[in-house]
Amino acid sequence: MLVTGLALGAVLGYVMQRGRFCVTGFLRDIFTQRSWRGFVALLIVISVHAVGLAALTSGGVITPEYDNLTPIAVIVGGLVFGIGIVLAGGCASGTWYRSGEGLIGSWIALVFYGLSAAAMKTGVLSGVNEALKSQTVELTSIHASLGISVWPLAIALSALTAFLAVRFLREEFSGPKPAKLAARKSGIAHILAEKPWHVYSTAVAVGVLGVIAWPLSAATGRNDGLGITTPSSNLTNFIVNGDTAKFDWGVLLVLGILLGSFVAAKASGEFRLRVPDATQGARSVVGGIFMGVGAAWAGGCTVGNGMVQTSLFSYQGWLALVAIAAGVGIAAKVWLKPSAAPAAAPSAPLADATTAPVAPVDAVAAPEGTNAAGFAIAPVALLDRAVVKQDKGKLVDLGSGRYELDTVGAVCPFPLIEAKEAIGKIEVGEELVIPFDCTQATDAIPRWAAKDGHEVTSFEQTDEAGWIISVKRGK
């Protein structure tokens, strides 16, 4: 039965990759874009979970356990975890599936996430973990405190979620349509392995898979559903100590996420080994450590707490989700800003830059290479070309009112953040040409352009996990 963990994880990884499903992005957008659209996707997962788990519990199929609330550990852990996922560029499940897309920064974050979680749960830091979690209050779940069944809460949350989802869908379908990449496949292949899935349909699928996960996991003696932190810790213990008892259904689940994401990314032409620059590499290390420590203190990550415990209406789940969101907000304010423009080199006067030959648009895509295994490799984005106008920041003049903003190598959400800043530095009617290799930006940038009234004049995939989009400023 352990193999069902691998199978379900592979499906989950495939679904998350095709739907660009990222809880970090959902929470981050609240603070950086004042948008609650993504958060509603998280509510959809929780609502589907809530109804499904309530049904399984009522039928005696599963027996969820509720622990007393450890408020200090949950709040502190949630804040630390929220800061960590912004630094790492993805939450626990997001880091696993983005590793399958070839993001080496995510690989780095995963290593330090697993190591720090293992240290907190079973290693040298376990005493620190236990000390903070020793402060408890006798609160388990909301419905237990109210003395009612879980069903009224599940139905009420589902009704609220449906109302919000319909509202956002109406706005989406009645407003300007974001530009789409031209189809290169047809029929079912286009739908399954090329066309990005809508975030709300993806959320429904994630919720259903979460419901299925619990009885499959329980059949192996693991009384839990989806989870990332403890399985990541167990995998680390298995690799380091050879402890076969740790190699359980949850470990196969996270390995399945990695496998399913890789298959989806290869099938859609979105896999490429992408090397982070020094800054992002360091952030991945710190972010991974913060994720492991924070999730251990809080009793779970954005999956264990933010999807599962919330659907069980435990105090721990909802308090942790609020604390994680607060951590994301703090980190977004501190770190999610457009990078500063590089200073002009003293030996390259401005006049020389303005008269230098201009490369055509096709030539500005990221140079390609391959490794010994035949996988395409994206270079680190070194923005070392001459800056034409210092007041235009990173923009390079392509001539005829067209400017290039090279974001190749930048992780989500920096391509969008820098595009929003750069569009304000050019005149109405001028074009911003943006090469990028961030998978999530294939949806984020066109959606922003449509919402803000800018025209996408071209949008194409240039290579494996490489795209160029041209945006004409509309206002």
Q: Where in the chain is the domain with CATH 3.30.110.40?
A: 350-472
Q: Is 301 a catalytic residue?
A: no
* 455-463 β-sheet, strand order: 396-399, 402-404, 431-436, 466-472, 455-463
Contact residues for 361 (Cβ-Cβ < 8 A; gap 6+): 398, 402, 404, 433, 468, 470
**SS3 state at 456:** strand
Name the region of 78 (left: φ>0; alpha: ψ -120 to 50; beta: rest): alpha
Contact 268, 90 (CB under 8 A): no
What is the C-alpha to C-alpha distance for residues 91 and 311, in angstroms, rounded to an integer? 18
Residue with tokens 């994206």: 378
Give the CATH number of domain 350-472.
3.30.110.40
161-200 pLDDT tens trace: 999 999 999 999 998 899 999 888 888 988 888 888 999 9
CA 300 distance to own-chain centroid: 17
The predicted model scores a pTM of 0.86
Q: Of 418, 404, 406, which Cα lies nearest the Cα of 336?
A: 418
Burial class (CB in 10 A: 0-12, 13-18, 19+), 256: buried
Mean pLDDT by 10 residues, the chain (475 residues): 94 97 94 94 98 98 95 97 95 94 95 96 91 92 97 98 97 90 87 91 98 97 95 96 93 98 95 91 96 96 97 98 98 79 38 38 42 46 37 80 91 89 93 93 93 94 92 92
What is the C-alpha to C-alpha distance for residues 335 and 362, in angstroms, rounded to an integer? 32
Contact 52, 205 (CB under 8 A): no
241-266 pLDDT tens trace: 999 999 999 999 999 999 999 999 99
- Which of 22, 91, 412, 438 is the catalytic position? 412
Ranges of H-type helices in 21-125 = 23-32, 37-58, 71-88, 92-99, 104-121
* 273-274 β-sheet, strand order: 273-274, 376-378, 369-370
Contact 74, 58 (CB under 8 A): no
